[in-house]
Every structure is written in structure tokens, then in C-alpha cells.
């Protein structure tokens, strides 16, 4: 009897040891996973727009973690205004060009770029320098000024913007990279990634008719961009979104990269000198479950390009 008990005891002890070893292994795995997990947000400063993206995208997992071979990619900048790059109204063309280039390097089949501009489309595409940068890197500029390019969609979970005509390429692309420029806005305090999605909708005025802040939050429910890249190199700190004079501009030399557009906009608000909680559409987008606003609880990697 004693012999049987001893045998059972040995079996029991081996099981306990194995379970303890497994627990220890899992604990180490969690620590390793936490240490190697990509950050929620990358903030880069003191480089050119293209350089900051090249460094920043590596820090958040590399372009290949967002784009698989053969996928179609939409890059959505702000090209709303007939302004030159030095006037801070549109996304920096060198940044857009670099994103197109690296999308192809990652294996994209085709990279498309468009915006439903506020002023005459061809003039905006040309004067912004974005068309030239896109074509140089073998991307495709699409029109945003023809209703036939838009498809009516029902927006599930929306509070007021229940339906909208949304650009087909935004709906059909395998990967969407949202690339706004950071600016002051007279109606919403700030324009960045969430507000940049107004440019995928045919009837831009519907946002104002329905309720601007809630409509901005609602349109983000259609399709969440896979990556958000906020151009905060030359920001319009006042009189946005079009700007009046060069005195409205501030050279920040910064860039924000995240998979969470709400978190990215929260960080952008601070760069602009705004209180994120005072930008109503951020709170509304958070309530929709689109993203988070708590920077303190997020993993943030800060990078300086200065040697």
C-alpha cells in the first residue's frame, strides 16, 4: 500500500511541477510579448516628412505588417485647397510620395490617391504637389469630383448620419492609409484624421446640415482606416482650414502614426495646443468604439531624428 502511495505521490508531484513550469513559462511569454508588442502610437520629430515616416513606420511594425503582397491600397491625404505645400493647407507631398513608394515596396498591387476637394479638383491636385509626387512613385490619382465614383451605404451604429454616398475606392481598397495634415478649424477647433474622412463623401455639406461633430464621428463607422499618419510638420495654428497669411503657420517638424485614429487625433490636439476633450467629435468617436483617448494608458514610442 505504501508503495502505491509513493507512486501516486510521484505522479502528483510531477504534475504540480509541470503546471508550475508552464505558469512560469507563460508569465515569461507575457513579459516577452509586452516587450515586443508594437506601440499604440509613434510620435516622430525633427526630420523631414518623408524621413519621419520612414523611421516611424518601422517603429510601429513596418509597412509589411499593414500591406500584404497583391493588396490594393488607398492613401487618403488632405488635398482640399488650391494652395502650395508651403502654405500648410494640404498634406505634405513628399510624405504622400514616400507612403506610396513604401506601399509598393511592401507588395501592394496598386496604390490609389484621391480627395473630394473643397476647391477645383485639378488645381488642388496640381498646386499641392501631391499629384506629381504620386505619379512619380507610380501611384494612381483618382477623381473625387464625380458622383459616379460614389456608392450609397448604410452606416450601422450612426446617430444622425445614417446614409452617405462614399467613394467606391475607399470601400473597395484592401488597405486604407489616412494621411491628414494637422490644422486649426474654425468650426471644430481641429482638423486631423477623423475630419479628413469628410473627403471620402460626395455631399460634404451633409455634415453641416446634420450636425458637424456627430457626423464626423458617424462617418468613421463606415470603415476604419488601417493606419493613420498625421502630418504635423508645418501646422496651421489659426484661421484654418484654409488659412489667411503665413502668420497662421507654425513649423513643428512632427508626425503622429497610429492604428487608432482617435488616439492619433488626441495626440494631434495637444500638438495644436487644444484640449482633446473640448473637441466634441473625439468624444463621440470614442463612444462609438472607434478608438481611445487615454494617452497615459497607451504605449507611445517617441523618436527624434536628430543625431
For 253-294, the pLDDT digits (tens) are 999 999 999 999 999 999 999 999 999 999 999 999 999 999
What CATH class does 38-304 carry? alpha beta
Dig out the grid coordinates for 56 from the structure: 516611424
CA dihedral (94, 239, 218, 260) in degrees, to 10, reads 40
- What tens digit of pLDDT does each residue of 100-147 get? 999 999 999 999 999 999 999 999 999 999 999 999 999 999 999 999
The pLDDT of residue 34 is 41
Task: Measure the CA–CA gap between 298 and 307, rounded to whole angstroms.
Answer: 27
Task: Measure the CA–CA gap between 270 and 190, rounded to whole angstroms.
Answer: 10
The pLDDT of residue 8 is 52
Dig out the grid coordinates for 184 from the structure: 486649426
Q: pTM (2 decimals)?
A: 0.88
**Every domain of the chain and the residues it spans:** 1-37, 38-304
The parts of the chain modelled with pLDDT lower than 70 are: 1-36, 307
Task: Measure the CA–CA gap between 107 and 276, rounded to whole angstroms.
Answer: 36
Amino acid at each position: 500500500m505504501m508503495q502505491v502511495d509513493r507512486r501516486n505521490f510521484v505522479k502528483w508531484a510531477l504534475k504540480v511541477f509541470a503546471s508550475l513550469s508552464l505558469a512560469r513559462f507563460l508569465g515569461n511569454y507575457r513579459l516577452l510579448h509586452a516587450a515586443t508588442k508594437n506601440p499604440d502610437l509613434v510620435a516622430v520629430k525633427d526630420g523631414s516628412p518623408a524621413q519621419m515616416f520612414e523611421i516611424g513606420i518601422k517603429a510601429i511594425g513596418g509597412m509589411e505588417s499593414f500591406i500584404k503582397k497583391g493588396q490594393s491600397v488607398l492613401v487618403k491625404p488632405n488635398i482640399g485647397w488650391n494652395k502650395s505645400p508651403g502654405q500648410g493647407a494640404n498634406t505634405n507631398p513628399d510624405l504622400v510620395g514616400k507612403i506610396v513608394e513604401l506601399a509598393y515596396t511592401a507588395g501592394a498591387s496598386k496604390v490609389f490617391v484621391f480627395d473630394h476637394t473643397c476647391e477645383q479638383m485639378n488645381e488642388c491636385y496640381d498646386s499641392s504637389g501631391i499629384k506629381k509626387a504620386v505619379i512619380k512613385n507610380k501611384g494612381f490619382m483618382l477623381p473625387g469630383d464625380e458622383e459616379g465614383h460614389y456608392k450609397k451605404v448604410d452606416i450601422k451604429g450612426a446617430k444622425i448620419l445614417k446614409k452617405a454616398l462614399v467613394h467606391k475606392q475607399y470601400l473597395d481598397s484592401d488597405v486604407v492609409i489616412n494621411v491628414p495634415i494637422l490644422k486649426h478649424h474654425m468650426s471644430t477647433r481641429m482638423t486631423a484624421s477623423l475630419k479628413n474622412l469628410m473627403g471620402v463623401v460626395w455631399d460634404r455639406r451633409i455634415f453641416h446640415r446634420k450636425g458637424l461633430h456627430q457626423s464626423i464621428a458617424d462617418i468613421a463607422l463606415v470603415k476604419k482606416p488601417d493606419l493613420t499618419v498625421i502630418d504635423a510638420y508645418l501646422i496651421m495654428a489659426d484661421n484654418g482650414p484654409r488659412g489667411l497669411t503665413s502668420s497662421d503657420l507654425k513649423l513643428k517638424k512632427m508626425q503622429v502614426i497610429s492604428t487608432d485614429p482617435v488616439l492619433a487625433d488626441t495626440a494631434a490636439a495637444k500638438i495644436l495646443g487644444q484640449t482633446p476633450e473640448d473637441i466634441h467629435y473625439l468624444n463621440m468617436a470614442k463612444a462609438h468604439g472607434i478608438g481611445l483617448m487615454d494617452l497615459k494608458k497607451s504605449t507611445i514610442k517617441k523618436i527624434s531624428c536628430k543625431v
